[in-house]
Structure 1
Amino acid sequence: MVDFFTPDQIAMLSASTVRCDFLVKFEFASSTMRAWNGNTELVVAGDTYLPMFGFGQIDGLGMSGGTVSENVTLSLSGLPGQALDLLSVALDDTPEVDQQMLTIFLQLFTDEWQPAGTPIPIFRGFMQPPSVSRSAMQGTEGATQSISLTAENIFYSRSRPAYGRNTDRDQQARSPGDKFFGFVASLISKTITYPDY
Protein backbone atom coordinates (compact mmCIF):
# COMPACT_ATOMS: atom_id res chain seq x y z
CA MET A 1 0.00 0.00 0.00
CA VAL A 2 1.32 3.47 -0.90
CA ASP A 3 1.19 6.07 1.87
CA PHE A 4 -0.51 9.38 1.11
CA PHE A 5 2.39 11.38 2.61
CA THR A 6 6.08 10.56 2.24
CA PRO A 7 8.18 10.34 5.43
CA ASP A 8 9.83 13.68 4.53
CA GLN A 9 6.42 15.36 4.14
CA ILE A 10 5.24 13.94 7.48
CA ALA A 11 8.37 15.33 9.14
CA MET A 12 7.80 18.77 7.60
CA LEU A 13 4.10 18.79 8.54
CA SER A 14 5.02 17.81 12.12
CA ALA A 15 7.46 20.71 12.56
CA SER A 16 6.58 23.73 14.70
CA THR A 17 6.72 25.95 11.59
CA VAL A 18 5.17 24.68 8.36
CA ARG A 19 5.80 26.61 5.15
CA CYS A 20 3.23 25.83 2.46
CA ASP A 21 1.00 27.32 -0.21
CA PHE A 22 -1.70 26.21 -2.62
CA LEU A 23 -1.03 25.38 -6.26
CA VAL A 24 -3.91 25.25 -8.76
CA LYS A 25 -4.07 23.35 -12.03
CA PHE A 26 -6.78 24.43 -14.51
CA GLU A 27 -7.41 21.79 -17.18
CA PHE A 28 -9.23 23.94 -19.74
CA ALA A 29 -10.61 22.21 -22.85
CA SER A 30 -7.80 23.39 -25.13
CA SER A 31 -4.91 23.92 -22.70
CA THR A 32 -3.75 23.45 -19.12
CA MET A 33 -2.78 26.42 -16.94
CA ARG A 34 -1.17 26.44 -13.50
CA ALA A 35 -1.15 29.22 -10.91
CA TRP A 36 -0.09 30.00 -7.36
CA ASN A 37 -0.39 33.09 -5.15
CA GLY A 38 3.31 33.97 -5.08
CA ASN A 39 5.22 36.79 -6.80
CA THR A 40 7.41 34.79 -9.19
CA GLU A 41 7.08 31.80 -11.45
CA LEU A 42 7.38 28.56 -9.51
CA VAL A 43 8.70 25.35 -11.06
CA VAL A 44 7.62 22.17 -9.25
CA ALA A 45 8.11 18.65 -10.63
CA GLY A 46 8.75 20.07 -14.11
CA ASP A 47 5.54 22.17 -14.19
CA THR A 48 5.56 25.98 -14.13
CA TYR A 49 3.01 27.79 -11.93
CA LEU A 50 2.41 31.42 -12.87
CA PRO A 51 2.19 34.08 -10.14
CA MET A 52 -1.05 35.64 -8.90
CA PHE A 53 0.80 38.19 -6.70
CA GLY A 54 -1.44 37.54 -3.68
CA PHE A 55 -4.62 38.56 -5.54
CA GLY A 56 -6.05 35.02 -5.67
CA GLN A 57 -8.34 33.55 -3.03
CA ILE A 58 -9.72 30.04 -2.39
CA ASP A 59 -12.86 29.59 -0.27
CA GLY A 60 -14.55 26.37 0.85
CA LEU A 61 -11.63 23.97 1.25
CA GLY A 62 -12.16 21.44 3.99
CA MET A 63 -12.52 17.76 4.80
CA SER A 64 -15.97 16.35 5.36
CA GLY A 65 -15.54 12.61 4.87
CA GLY A 66 -19.04 12.44 3.42
CA THR A 67 -20.35 11.59 -0.02
CA VAL A 68 -21.96 14.95 -0.72
CA SER A 69 -21.38 17.39 -3.52
CA GLU A 70 -19.21 20.17 -2.13
CA ASN A 71 -17.56 23.06 -3.90
CA VAL A 72 -14.72 25.50 -3.64
CA THR A 73 -14.70 29.00 -5.09
CA LEU A 74 -11.60 30.54 -6.59
CA SER A 75 -11.61 34.29 -7.05
CA LEU A 76 -9.18 36.76 -8.58
CA SER A 77 -9.44 40.50 -7.94
CA GLY A 78 -7.70 43.22 -9.93
CA LEU A 79 -4.57 41.33 -10.92
CA PRO A 80 -2.15 43.91 -12.40
CA GLY A 81 0.00 43.03 -15.38
CA GLN A 82 -2.12 39.93 -15.99
CA ALA A 83 0.76 37.49 -16.43
CA LEU A 84 -1.74 34.65 -16.32
CA ASP A 85 -4.30 34.92 -19.10
CA LEU A 86 -6.94 33.26 -16.92
CA LEU A 87 -9.61 35.94 -17.27
CA SER A 88 -9.76 35.92 -21.06
CA VAL A 89 -9.70 32.11 -21.25
CA ALA A 90 -12.48 31.80 -18.69
CA LEU A 91 -14.72 34.50 -20.14
CA ASP A 92 -14.23 34.21 -23.90
CA ASP A 93 -15.57 30.71 -24.25
CA THR A 94 -17.63 29.02 -21.54
CA PRO A 95 -17.11 25.49 -22.99
CA GLU A 96 -13.39 26.02 -22.33
CA VAL A 97 -14.21 26.03 -18.62
CA ASP A 98 -17.55 24.36 -18.00
CA GLN A 99 -17.18 20.82 -16.57
CA GLN A 100 -13.41 20.82 -17.06
CA MET A 101 -11.18 19.50 -14.28
CA LEU A 102 -9.49 21.63 -11.63
CA THR A 103 -7.00 20.34 -9.06
CA ILE A 104 -5.78 22.13 -5.94
CA PHE A 105 -2.49 21.00 -4.40
CA LEU A 106 -0.73 21.74 -1.14
CA GLN A 107 2.97 22.47 -1.72
CA LEU A 108 5.48 22.31 1.13
CA PHE A 109 8.54 24.57 1.18
CA THR A 110 11.91 24.45 2.90
CA ASP A 111 13.14 27.14 5.32
CA GLU A 112 14.57 28.95 2.25
CA TRP A 113 11.15 28.82 0.53
CA GLN A 114 12.22 26.27 -2.06
CA PRO A 115 9.66 23.61 -3.11
CA ALA A 116 10.05 20.41 -1.08
CA GLY A 117 8.76 17.19 -2.62
CA THR A 118 5.87 16.82 -5.00
CA PRO A 119 2.56 18.71 -4.66
CA ILE A 120 -0.06 16.98 -2.49
CA PRO A 121 -3.52 16.89 -4.19
CA ILE A 122 -6.22 18.02 -1.75
CA PHE A 123 -9.18 18.81 -4.04
CA ARG A 124 -10.25 17.76 -7.53
CA GLY A 125 -13.46 18.90 -9.13
CA PHE A 126 -15.38 20.13 -12.15
CA MET A 127 -15.25 23.85 -13.00
CA GLN A 128 -18.53 25.72 -13.45
CA PRO A 129 -19.06 28.79 -15.68
CA PRO A 130 -17.28 31.83 -14.21
CA SER A 131 -18.89 35.05 -13.03
CA VAL A 132 -17.56 38.61 -13.04
CA SER A 133 -18.31 41.35 -10.55
CA ARG A 134 -17.18 44.96 -10.14
CA SER A 135 -16.88 46.80 -6.85
CA ALA A 136 -18.23 50.33 -6.37
CA MET A 137 -15.82 53.24 -6.70
CA GLN A 138 -14.54 54.56 -3.37
CA GLY A 139 -13.77 58.29 -3.60
CA THR A 140 -10.61 58.65 -5.67
CA GLU A 141 -10.09 54.87 -5.72
CA GLY A 142 -11.22 53.08 -8.85
CA ALA A 143 -13.46 50.05 -8.95
CA THR A 144 -11.96 46.56 -8.86
CA GLN A 145 -13.10 43.89 -11.26
CA SER A 146 -13.17 40.33 -9.92
CA ILE A 147 -13.75 36.94 -11.43
CA SER A 148 -14.91 33.92 -9.46
CA LEU A 149 -14.96 30.30 -10.50
CA THR A 150 -16.71 27.52 -8.59
CA ALA A 151 -15.59 23.90 -8.81
CA GLU A 152 -17.85 21.03 -7.66
CA ASN A 153 -16.20 17.89 -6.25
CA ILE A 154 -16.42 14.47 -7.90
CA PHE A 155 -19.88 13.79 -6.45
CA TYR A 156 -21.32 16.61 -8.58
CA SER A 157 -24.23 15.44 -10.72
CA ARG A 158 -24.08 11.85 -9.41
CA SER A 159 -27.67 11.26 -8.46
CA ARG A 160 -28.84 7.95 -7.07
CA PRO A 161 -32.26 6.59 -6.16
CA ALA A 162 -33.53 6.97 -2.62
CA TYR A 163 -31.50 4.90 -0.14
CA GLY A 164 -28.96 4.20 -2.89
CA ARG A 165 -25.90 5.58 -1.08
CA ASN A 166 -23.44 3.61 1.02
CA THR A 167 -24.18 5.50 4.23
CA ASP A 168 -25.43 4.38 7.61
CA ARG A 169 -28.61 6.44 7.25
CA ASP A 170 -29.51 4.81 3.91
CA GLN A 171 -28.58 1.35 5.20
CA GLN A 172 -30.85 1.82 8.23
CA ALA A 173 -33.69 2.76 5.87
CA ARG A 174 -33.04 -0.38 3.79
CA SER A 175 -32.34 -2.78 6.66
CA PRO A 176 -33.07 -1.37 10.15
CA GLY A 177 -30.49 -2.51 12.71
CA ASP A 178 -27.82 -3.41 10.12
CA LYS A 179 -24.51 -1.77 11.19
CA PHE A 180 -22.59 -2.53 7.96
CA PHE A 181 -21.98 1.16 7.09
CA GLY A 182 -21.93 2.45 10.68
CA PHE A 183 -18.17 2.89 10.84
CA VAL A 184 -17.41 4.39 7.41
CA ALA A 185 -16.34 7.77 8.84
CA SER A 186 -13.80 6.09 11.15
CA LEU A 187 -12.14 4.37 8.18
CA ILE A 188 -10.92 7.60 6.56
CA SER A 189 -7.11 7.55 6.29
CA LYS A 190 -6.98 4.20 8.11
CA THR A 191 -4.44 1.56 7.04
CA ILE A 192 -5.88 -1.90 6.55
CA THR A 193 -3.52 -4.85 6.19
CA TYR A 194 -4.84 -7.68 4.04
CA PRO A 195 -4.34 -10.54 4.43
CA ASP A 196 -3.57 -10.27 8.14
CA TYR A 197 -2.06 -13.54 9.40
Structure 2
Amino acid sequence: MGFFPETIAAKLAGRTVAASLLVHMDFRETPRRFWFGFGDLEAGGYTWQGTGELIQVEGLESPIGTVAPKATFSLSGIDAGIVTLARQASDRVKDRRATVYIQFFDVTPDDASVQPWSLLDDPFAISSWLMDQMTYSAQGPSLRSISLTAESLWTNRRRPASGLLTDRDQNKRFPSDRGLEQVVDLISKTIRWPVY
Protein backbone atom coordinates (compact mmCIF):
# COMPACT_ATOMS: atom_id res chain seq x y z
CA MET A 1 0.00 0.00 0.00
CA GLY A 2 1.45 3.35 -1.03
CA PHE A 3 1.29 6.74 0.59
CA PHE A 4 -1.92 8.82 0.45
CA PRO A 5 -4.31 6.29 -1.17
CA GLU A 6 -7.43 8.42 -0.49
CA THR A 7 -5.76 11.58 -1.79
CA ILE A 8 -4.59 9.86 -4.97
CA ALA A 9 -8.04 8.29 -5.53
CA ALA A 10 -9.75 11.67 -5.10
CA LYS A 11 -7.35 13.36 -7.52
CA LEU A 12 -7.74 10.57 -10.10
CA ALA A 13 -11.53 10.96 -9.82
CA GLY A 14 -11.15 14.62 -10.84
CA ARG A 15 -11.85 16.03 -7.41
CA THR A 16 -10.17 19.17 -6.04
CA VAL A 17 -7.58 18.43 -3.36
CA ALA A 18 -6.11 21.01 -1.00
CA ALA A 19 -3.42 20.73 1.67
CA SER A 20 -2.57 22.44 4.92
CA LEU A 21 0.36 22.28 7.30
CA LEU A 22 -0.12 21.11 10.86
CA VAL A 23 2.46 21.85 13.56
CA HIS A 24 2.93 19.95 16.82
CA MET A 25 5.10 21.77 19.36
CA ASP A 26 5.99 19.52 22.26
CA PHE A 27 6.35 22.19 24.94
CA ARG A 28 7.19 20.73 28.32
CA GLU A 29 3.92 20.27 30.31
CA THR A 30 1.74 22.02 27.68
CA PRO A 31 2.18 20.59 24.17
CA ARG A 32 0.29 22.51 21.47
CA ARG A 33 -1.07 21.52 18.06
CA PHE A 34 -1.80 24.15 15.40
CA TRP A 35 -3.09 24.07 11.84
CA PHE A 36 -3.17 26.77 9.17
CA GLY A 37 -6.97 26.89 8.93
CA PHE A 38 -9.90 28.22 10.93
CA GLY A 39 -11.56 26.51 13.89
CA ASP A 40 -10.59 23.22 15.47
CA LEU A 41 -9.60 20.29 13.26
CA GLU A 42 -9.93 16.64 14.32
CA ALA A 43 -7.21 14.75 12.47
CA GLY A 44 -4.96 11.82 13.33
CA GLY A 45 -6.71 11.33 16.67
CA TYR A 46 -5.85 14.84 17.91
CA THR A 47 -7.48 18.26 17.99
CA TRP A 48 -5.51 20.93 16.13
CA GLN A 49 -6.16 24.57 16.99
CA GLY A 50 -6.84 26.74 13.94
CA THR A 51 -4.67 29.82 13.52
CA GLY A 52 -5.86 31.00 10.11
CA GLU A 53 -3.36 33.40 8.64
CA LEU A 54 -1.83 34.24 12.02
CA ILE A 55 0.96 31.66 11.84
CA GLN A 56 3.96 31.76 9.52
CA VAL A 57 6.77 29.27 9.01
CA GLU A 58 10.04 30.21 7.36
CA GLY A 59 12.94 27.94 6.49
CA LEU A 60 11.18 24.60 5.98
CA GLU A 61 13.79 22.92 3.83
CA SER A 62 15.70 19.68 3.71
CA PRO A 63 19.31 19.71 4.82
CA ILE A 64 21.52 19.64 1.73
CA GLY A 65 25.27 19.15 1.87
CA THR A 66 26.86 20.27 5.11
CA VAL A 67 24.30 22.94 6.01
CA ALA A 68 21.83 22.33 8.85
CA PRO A 69 18.92 24.73 8.22
CA LYS A 70 16.95 26.64 10.84
CA ALA A 71 13.21 27.25 10.81
CA THR A 72 11.30 30.12 12.39
CA PHE A 73 7.72 29.74 13.54
CA SER A 74 5.88 33.05 14.09
CA LEU A 75 2.43 33.34 15.65
CA SER A 76 0.62 36.64 16.02
CA GLY A 77 -2.69 37.59 17.60
CA ILE A 78 -2.24 35.05 20.37
CA ASP A 79 -3.83 34.77 23.79
CA ALA A 80 -2.16 35.75 27.04
CA GLY A 81 -1.55 32.08 27.95
CA ILE A 82 0.90 31.61 25.09
CA VAL A 83 2.71 34.84 26.03
CA THR A 84 3.06 33.49 29.58
CA LEU A 85 4.47 30.29 28.08
CA ALA A 86 6.94 32.34 26.03
CA ARG A 87 8.12 34.21 29.14
CA GLN A 88 8.98 30.92 30.82
CA ALA A 89 10.24 29.32 27.64
CA SER A 90 13.85 28.61 28.53
CA ASP A 91 13.07 25.38 30.39
CA ARG A 92 9.99 24.44 28.35
CA VAL A 93 11.32 24.89 24.83
CA LYS A 94 15.05 24.13 24.55
CA ASP A 95 15.71 20.87 22.69
CA ARG A 96 12.02 19.90 22.60
CA ARG A 97 10.57 18.50 19.37
CA ALA A 98 8.54 20.49 16.82
CA THR A 99 7.03 18.37 14.04
CA VAL A 100 5.43 19.67 10.85
CA TYR A 101 2.77 17.54 9.15
CA ILE A 102 0.83 17.84 5.90
CA GLN A 103 -2.91 17.10 5.79
CA PHE A 104 -4.88 16.71 2.55
CA PHE A 105 -8.54 17.71 2.12
CA ASP A 106 -11.23 17.13 -0.50
CA VAL A 107 -12.57 20.58 -1.38
CA THR A 108 -14.56 19.77 -4.51
CA PRO A 109 -16.98 22.70 -4.95
CA ASP A 110 -20.73 22.19 -5.43
CA ASP A 111 -20.74 18.46 -4.70
CA ALA A 112 -23.47 17.41 -2.27
CA SER A 113 -21.87 13.99 -1.71
CA VAL A 114 -18.73 15.48 -0.17
CA GLN A 115 -18.55 17.50 3.02
CA PRO A 116 -16.53 20.69 2.56
CA TRP A 117 -12.92 20.21 3.62
CA SER A 118 -13.25 16.46 4.15
CA LEU A 119 -10.06 14.82 5.44
CA LEU A 120 -8.12 12.59 3.09
CA ASP A 121 -5.71 10.16 4.74
CA ASP A 122 -3.97 10.83 8.07
CA PRO A 123 -1.54 13.67 8.71
CA PHE A 124 1.92 12.85 7.36
CA ALA A 125 5.09 14.14 9.07
CA ILE A 126 7.25 16.06 6.61
CA SER A 127 9.90 17.55 8.93
CA SER A 128 11.06 17.43 12.51
CA TRP A 129 12.93 20.14 14.40
CA LEU A 130 14.47 20.82 17.80
CA MET A 131 13.10 24.00 19.33
CA ASP A 132 15.77 26.46 20.39
CA GLN A 133 14.67 29.94 21.47
CA MET A 134 11.29 31.59 21.90
CA THR A 135 10.86 35.33 22.01
CA TYR A 136 7.72 37.38 22.40
CA SER A 137 6.59 40.92 21.87
CA ALA A 138 3.49 42.69 23.08
CA GLN A 139 2.23 46.08 22.00
CA GLY A 140 -0.74 46.63 24.25
CA PRO A 141 -3.25 44.02 25.39
CA SER A 142 -4.30 42.91 21.91
CA LEU A 143 -1.14 42.94 19.76
CA ARG A 144 0.92 39.97 20.92
CA SER A 145 3.25 37.76 18.92
CA ILE A 146 5.84 35.07 19.50
CA SER A 147 8.73 33.84 17.40
CA LEU A 148 10.26 30.41 17.86
CA THR A 149 13.48 29.31 16.21
CA ALA A 150 14.10 25.63 15.67
CA GLU A 151 17.14 23.73 14.47
CA SER A 152 17.35 20.76 12.19
CA LEU A 153 17.99 17.37 13.73
CA TRP A 154 21.30 17.49 11.85
CA THR A 155 22.58 20.53 13.74
CA ASN A 156 24.93 18.54 15.97
CA ARG A 157 25.97 15.94 13.42
CA ARG A 158 29.59 17.17 13.40
CA ARG A 159 29.95 16.65 17.12
CA PRO A 160 31.76 13.36 17.79
CA ALA A 161 29.53 10.70 19.28
CA SER A 162 32.20 9.84 21.81
CA GLY A 163 35.42 11.80 21.50
CA LEU A 164 38.46 9.61 22.05
CA LEU A 165 41.51 10.63 24.03
CA THR A 166 43.85 10.03 21.12
CA ASP A 167 46.31 12.29 19.37
CA ARG A 168 44.51 11.80 16.04
CA ASP A 169 41.07 12.82 17.42
CA GLN A 170 42.58 15.76 19.26
CA ASN A 171 44.30 17.01 16.08
CA LYS A 172 41.07 16.72 14.11
CA ARG A 173 39.41 19.08 16.56
CA PHE A 174 42.42 21.31 17.27
CA PRO A 175 45.11 21.16 14.57
CA SER A 176 48.71 21.25 15.84
CA ASP A 177 47.65 20.57 19.45
CA ARG A 178 50.24 18.31 21.12
CA GLY A 179 48.32 17.68 24.37
CA LEU A 180 47.61 13.99 23.74
CA GLU A 181 50.59 12.87 21.64
CA GLN A 182 52.13 10.94 24.57
CA VAL A 183 48.95 9.03 25.49
CA VAL A 184 49.94 6.01 23.38
CA ASP A 185 53.10 5.62 25.51
CA LEU A 186 50.99 5.33 28.68
CA ILE A 187 49.23 2.12 27.65
CA SER A 188 50.15 -0.71 30.06
CA LYS A 189 52.81 1.47 31.64
CA THR A 190 53.54 1.05 35.33
CA ILE A 191 54.13 4.27 37.15
CA ARG A 192 55.79 4.16 40.56
CA TRP A 193 54.50 6.70 42.97
CA PRO A 194 55.98 8.21 45.08
CA VAL A 195 59.52 8.03 43.89
CA TYR A 196 62.09 8.42 46.73
Provide the TM-score with structure 2 as the length reference: 0.65
**Match for 1:30: what amino acid?**
E
Distance 1:143 1:51 in 2: 18
Aligned to 1:130: 134
**In the alignment, structure 1 residue 121 sits paired with structure 2 residue 112:** no
Query: 1:159-181: CA deviations, max 9, x gaps?
Result: 257xxxxxxxxxxxxxxxxxxxx
Match of 2:98 among 91, 99, 102: 102
| Alignment RMSD (CA, Å) | 2.9
Contact 1:71–1:150 (CA<8 Å) still a contact in 2? yes
**What percent identity do the matched residue pairs reach?**
30
Provide the TM-score with structure 1 as the length reference: 0.65
Contact 2:16–2:106 (CA<8 Å) still a contact in 1? no
Aligned to 1:147: 146
Contact 1:67–1:155 (CA<8 Å) still a contact in 2? no
Change (3 A) 1:114 1:60: same
Aligned to 1:89: 85
Change (3 A) 1:92 1:153: same
Change (3 A) 1:68 1:11: farther
Distance 1:13 1:94 in 2: 45
Counterparts in 2 of 1:181-192, with a 5 A limit?
A: none
Query: 1:20-79: CA deviations, max 9, x gaps?
Result: 111000111223211112221111021000121321111111345445311111101223
Change (3 A) 1:72 1:144: same
- Report how many residues are paired: 151
Greater Cα radius of gyration, structure 1 or 2? 2
Shift of 1:119: 0.7
Aligned to 2:158: 159
Match of 1:8 among 6, 9, 14: 6
Distance 1:63 1:13 in 2: 26
Distance 2:138 2:30 in 1: 27
Q: Which runs of 5+ in 2 are unaligned?
A: 108-115, 161-196
Distance 2:153 2:40 in 1: 29
Contact 1:130–1:149 (CA<8 Å) still a contact in 2? yes
Pick which of 85-94 and 111-120 moved more: 85-94
Aligned to 2:59: 60
Shift of 1:13: 6.7
Q: Secondary structure at the match of 2:85?
A: helix
